[in-house]
A = this chain, B = another copy of it.
Amino acid sequence: MIGLGYWGPNLVRNLFELESAELVLVCDQRAEAVEQVRRRYPSVRGATSTDDVLEDPAVEAVVVATPIGTHLELARASLSAGKHTLVEKPLADSIAGAAELAHLARERGLVLVPGHTFLYSPPVQAVQEMISAGELGDIYFISTSRVNLGLHQSDASVVWDLAPHDFSILLYWLRETPTYVTALSRGCVIPDTPDVAFLNLEYASGVIAHAELAWLAPSKLRRTTVVGSRKMVVYDDTSIEPVRVFDSGVTLRDPGTFGEYRLSYRTGDIVSPRVDVSEPLSLELDDFCRSIRGGSQPRATAELGLDVVRMIEAAERSLTQGGARAEVAAAESLSGPSA
């Protein structure tokens, strides 16, 4: 386990309690961070140099939870050292970097998992099952708000920080990468560091999506609406009823003689299905271990992690170009090494 910052302790706790793995070594440049973990978990060894981790033959797999700008270098080193690797989201800070990691893992036959924890969230999983079973019909559009007061990241915009959550969920649900992204943002508090962003996504299938992201908001919102031709779903990660299914919709009946459309509105029952309350992080780490042992594909694949970076890169490009529509880079050209 490399990186004991804000998110690290959650990973440590889950790794320690995981039955499918043993937490051998924790590593951080700051000796006091390592010591703090070791006071709690004396059985775990500590290190302040990543070399100690990568050269340790007892280490089979590495979890990287460091600032975004270091993901590529550390994950490259970890894979090069023959370690299965889980990298916190996003996989890397560039398409080329993410593609290189995906390529490297494939080449070496190693498991590479981007830490898109939301894919392991039971409500996200429940919605995915409804969509893939056709229960919602054709998906018309998806709109999501992920806003809160805090935490401004010093090394990243709100897009790099929060969009990976929504983009990974959208990829998991829609199994389709958007073709265009249009973005509007503002650095309200720190100049040149966007802390609010409105993103519009277009898909070849006709689906459209919107994401509102902010580190500045009166209250926490994590609300996603999925509107399908048969049913609609609200996924609210802050609610004790995280998934609500609305049996509502509009049906277009045959246009009348004079081309007038006749619509039929339907408002039916609302169901909050029972959803498991397992901790997503624990499920993610377990999936990582299972993929290592069993050779199965993890739910969060390196390819999905690369797609997320392609989407972020397009959003950032739109911002750089003053809000112009930005095409999402094609995936085909990305399979080779980045250097």
Q: Does A60 contact B (CB under 8 A)?
A: no
Other A-B pairs beyond A190-B263, A217-B225, 11, CB < 8 Å: A140-B216, A143-B198, A143-B212, A149-B249, A149-B250, A184-B200, A184-B208, A216-B227, A218-B234, A247-B274, A272-B272
Chain B residues with CB under 8 A of A7: none
Which residues of A are interface residues toward B (Cβ below 8 A)?
42, 140-141, 143, 149-150, 152, 154, 180, 182, 184-186, 188-190, 193, 196, 198, 200, 202, 206, 208, 210, 212, 214-220, 225, 227, 229, 232-234, 240-241, 244, 246-252, 260-261, 263, 265, 267-274, 322-325
Assess the A274–B265 pair: CB atoms within 8 A: no
Assess the B241–A270 pair: CB atoms within 8 A: yes
Give the secondary structure class of A's interface: strand
CB-nearest residue of chain B to A143: B212
A208 to B303, CA, bound (A): 34
A173 to B265, CA, bound (A): 32
Chain B residues with CB under 8 A of A210: 184, 198, 212
Chain B residues with CB under 8 A of A272: 269-272
Chain B residues with CB under 8 A of A202: 184, 323
A252 to B247, CA, bound (A): 35
